[in-house]
Structure formats: C-alpha cells, structure tokens
C-alpha cells in the first residue's frame, strides 16, 4: 500500500512537470502568446473583469486606467479644485483596436449623472448597446456630497453652476482628454445631448467647442448662452413640447426666475443656429405623425444640418421616456432617444 501511494505521487509530479514544460521556441519568443495562461494570470484577469464590470454598479469610484472590457464604470476627475464625477457605459461590441463613437449625455438641472444613466428615463444604455457607441454621463457642478442637485453653467442658466461661474466647458474639454486615454475613441464621432439644463449646456458646447463635436442635441432646453461665436458649423437637433411648462416654447420661465432665467424661445433658438450654420431659411417637413412633426434645415455650410422636432404634448419631458419627477406622462408621439440616435448616425 505504501509503495502504491509513492508511485501515485511520483506520477502526479511527473505530469505537473510535463504540463508546465515549455513547448517549442515560439511561445518563449512571443512572450507566452501561444501558451495557456497560468492559474495566477487567470485569477488576475477574472478579478480585473469583475472590477471593470461591477465597480460602477456597486457605487465605487474606479481608477482611470485604460478600459478594455465592456461594462459600467464610475470615475472622478479633479478640475479646478473640485472632484467632478462621470459614469460610463461601454457596450458589448466595443473592441479596443477599433475606434468607437462617443456620446456625452448631460442631465437636467437639479439632477445628476445617475438619473441620466437610467434606462427607464432616457434609454441611453440600451441605445448604446444597439448602436455600439460609448455612453458617458458627466455630473454637473454641485456643492453637495455625491454631486446631488447638480446644475450646468450654460450661460444665463442655471442655479449654482451659473452663480459660481463654473467652467463647465473647460471640465468637458478635460473629460474628453481623459476619455481618450481610457478608450479608443474616434475623434470624428463625438456627440453631445442633454435634457433641459443639460440641453442648454450642449448648446454652450456647440458655441465654444464645436471642433470637438460632430453634432449636439437638446431636449426641452433652449440656447441661453450669453455669447456665441462658434469657430465652425455644427449640426444641431432640437426637440421640444409645445406645452412645456418650464422652458416655455415661446420663451420665458414657467417658474421662479431667480434660479433660472427668462428662457429664449424655441423659434429664436432654431433661427439663431440656422443663421450661424448658413442654412436655408425655409425647412423641409421630414416627419408628420399624430402628435409630432420634424423639420429639417439643409443643406448648410460644411454639410451640417439643423433639425427641429416638436410634440404637441408632454410638457417638460424627454419624449418616449419616463419623467424623473413624475407628473403627467411625456409624449409618446416619437422617441427622443431614437430621433437623436438617427440624427447622429446620419452625420
């Protein structure tokens, strides 16, 4: 029995030697490219995958290392003495060797990145998976822990960000540079969209950093910049409800003005960008369904377009999505998420 036991141990040891012995010279010369990963390497890779996939879901802030795997992430970025945050969704189709399109999606005033990243409200994660773009959700300026009740300094609006003179354009520039170190992003396919105050911020980006974006889209937020001298044409999509009770379609504030402004009207906003982009004054009706229309101003300088979509109802909302604060349902005559994605794809 003792002899048999020794023989078994000897066989197991011999098998281990053969299993770990280098096979030929190619694997050695190519740095294990043809060799199976060791147990330690497999454990390390699985741990890395768990962190990359689950870190954001667990609410943790991750290190800003290069990202090679799909999943959800949360990061912070120091800018002008403040820790600014952003969430990211990398779709399953992402390949590090292939440049990917990038969409920045900006939350509304008094919200935060978590709201904008919620599929139930805005559908950006599902659209990212469908279209293959990386979705990034920056957090606006906030003095509160966790970045709650955040706003964007979009010029004449809104709230704390405007009052503090937050350099949100500078923050977005710094964020984009960070993202280029984390992911393989196609610099010619970077887009921005936003809801309400976030849409207003998208307009400020179009005014002050059009060279960084292929197109911008705003939902329920007009252009309230104080100055606007874009260095080049940029495609613009605007979506708004005629009965918006907060950012009024024909201008003005639907509530206390101190935290916001007397909002510029939708017609004035569209007319402004038609002029800035050198588009024809008369649009083409490109969509007419029950409860909604879309009109296109094209061709414009540099091959860009200006597009306006209007829903009859829905008040202050993202058409096709759910309202964060409840209330009357938004319009279902069209899906803002789909219209925006199609607009980007056509660019």
DSSP 8-state code for residue 329: P
For residues 20 and 82, the model is more confident at 82
d(CA 127, CA 110): 24
Q: Which of 10-14, 214-218, 246-250 has the lowest mean pLDDT?
A: 10-14
> Could you give the C-alpha distances from 110 to 10, 205, 276, in angstroms and in order?
70, 20, 30
Neighbours of 189 (CB within 10 A): 18
Backbone CA torsion sign across 289, 294, 299, 303: negative
Confidence of residue 28 (pLDDT cuts 50, 70, 90): very low
Give the pLDDT of residue 320. Answer: 96
Mean pLDDT along residues 274-298: 98
CA-derived radius of gyration, the chain: 25
For residue 193, which of 182, 185, 205 has the smallest C-alpha distance? 205
CB 73 within 8 A of CB 88: yes
> Which residues have CB under 8 Å from 88's CB, separation 6+?
56, 67, 72, 73, 74, 75, 134, 135, 136, 137
In 3D, which of 289, 330, 329, 279 has the Cα closest to residue 309? 289
pLDDT at 60: 61
Residue 149 has pLDDT above 80, yes or no: yes
Task: State yes or no: pLDDT of 79 exceeds 60.
Answer: yes
pLDDT in tens, 101-145: 999 999 999 999 999 999 999 999 999 999 999 999 999 999 998
User: What mean pLDDT do residues 46-68 have?
Assistant: 60
């Amino acid at each position: 029995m003792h002899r048999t036991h020794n023989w078994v141990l000897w066989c197991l040891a011999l098998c281990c030697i053969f299993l770990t012995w280098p096979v030929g010279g190619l694997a050695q010369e190519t740095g294990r490219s043809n060799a199976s990963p060791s147990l330690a390497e497999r454990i390390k890779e699985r741990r890395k995958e768990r962190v990359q996939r689950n870190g954001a879901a667990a609410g943790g802030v991750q290190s800003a290392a290069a990202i090679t795997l799909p999943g959800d992430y949360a990061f912070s970025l120091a800018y002008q003495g403040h820790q600014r945050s952003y969430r990211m969704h990398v779709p399953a189709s992402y390949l590090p060797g292939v440049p990917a399109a990038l969409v920045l999606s900006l939350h509304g005033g008094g919200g935060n990145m978590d709201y904008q990243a919620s599929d139930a409200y805005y559908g950006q994660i599902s659209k990212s998976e469908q279209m293959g773009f990386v979705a990034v959700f920056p957090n606006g300026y906030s003095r509160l822990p966790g970045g709650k009740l955040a706003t964007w300094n979009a010029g004449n609006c809104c709230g704390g960000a405007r009052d503090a003179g937050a350099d949100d354009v500078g923050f977005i520039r710094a964020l984009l540079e960070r993202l280029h170190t984390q992911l393989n992003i196609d610099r010619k396919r970077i887009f921005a969209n936003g809801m309400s105050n976030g849409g207003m911020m998208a307009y400020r980006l179009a005014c002050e950093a059009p060279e960084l974006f292929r197109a911008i889209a705003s939902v329920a937020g007009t252009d309230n910049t104080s100055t606007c001298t874009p260095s080049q044409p940029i495609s613009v999509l605007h979506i708004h409800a005629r009965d918006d009770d907060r950012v009024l379609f024909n201008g003005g504030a639907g509530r206390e003005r101190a935290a916001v402004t007397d909002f510029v009207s939708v017609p004035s906003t569209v007319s402004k960008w038609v002029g800035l982009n050198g588009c024809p004054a008369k649009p083409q009706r490109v969509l007419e369904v029950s409860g909604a229309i879309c009109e296109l101003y094209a061709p414009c300088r540099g091959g860009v377009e200006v597009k306006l979509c209007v829903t009859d109802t829905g008040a202050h909302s993202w058409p096709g999505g759910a309202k964060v604060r409840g209330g009357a349902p938004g319009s279902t005559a069209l899906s803002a998420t789909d219209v925006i994605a199609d607009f980007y794809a056509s660019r």
